[in-house]
Copies of this chain bind each other. A is one copy, B any other.
């Protein structure tokens, strides 16, 4: 770490993602502060728990839990695990919690989420995106089920330094996660990393809702499997049209990775089941807009969005 030996870490949005990574970083010895709302009482009383198929039962008994961002100590790294749908509301909290020259990492899926948040953030803050490759969901207040994986790829988006210096900051962020025992690397191009993640998110998130099915069910049927491959192919073509060429073999690779995963319900399925807003803007509309601006149609992705919009109305 450049500025200090032990950076202080703040977690905004202590759901499955924020809770898992915050707990792992705290267990690695970092000072981690959690901003909580509805789960404040449960977490203050019982701590944070991760039931992991890989790491066993992990408990963080004493949690630096906060209800008010204004009272939190200023954090060198602020990890945002909340849904993209709440970013606009979170911006003032992020500005409060982040130290001057702090690094804000959006551990979020989708496209153009940094562009949306950037104008709302203080100019001195560094903004990064983090792509989480993880199967995780929240099962009760303060309790997180970790089914598989856990890697994080970080890319620098914008801030008061050059692109090259930003890459160094992304590497520092990756080092934090590595110290917590997690696979992590810095990405040269955040946008390319976001497109790559969308190749997985676009088919599985939406189809899990539309067809009310988990990944194993979707992979076992030849028609849905073919549809997943078609959607992935459209995303790869769109990424390529936008200047970030992705290899077509990525389709078969992602299908194989998903088949090796346990049966998994993506986060959008949980959002829909619990009548929370789905991340349609970040995961579907923004990539469709970018593709269209590059002259590339994604008809099946467009249809998936149309059906999800209908279901969410």
Contact = CB atoms under 8 A, between A and B. Distances in A.
Interface of A: 210-211, 213, 218, 221, 223-224, 226-227, 230, 299-300, 302-307, 309-311, 313
B311 A227 contact: no
Nearest to A220: B313
A230 B303 contact: yes
Contact of A211 (B213, B300, B311): B311
A234 B311 CA distance: 23
Contacts of A221: 309-310, 313
B306 A303 contact: no
A256 to B, nearest CB: 20
The DSSP consensus for interface residues of chain A is helix
Contacts of A306: 223-224, 226-227, 230
A306 B224 CA distance: 6
23 contacts: A210-B307, A211-B307, A211-B310, A218-B310, A221-B310, A221-B313, A223-B305, A223-B306, A223-B309, A223-B313, A224-B306, A224-B309, A224-B310, A226-B306, A227-B306, A230-B303, A230-B306, A299-B299, A299-B300, A300-B300, A300-B302, A300-B303, A303-B303
A304 B211 CA distance: 12
A221 B308 CA distance: 12
A207 to B, nearest CB: 8
A311 B307 CA distance: 15
Interface hub of A211, A230, A299, A302 (most chain B Cβ within 10 A): A299
Nearest to A226: B306
A98 B234 CA distance: 51
Contacts of A309: 221, 223-224
Contacts of A313: 221, 223
A224 B307 contact: yes
A189 to B, nearest CB: 29
A81 B41 CA distance: 64
A227 to B, nearest CB: 4
Contacts of A307: 210-211, 223-224, 227
A221 B218 CA distance: 27
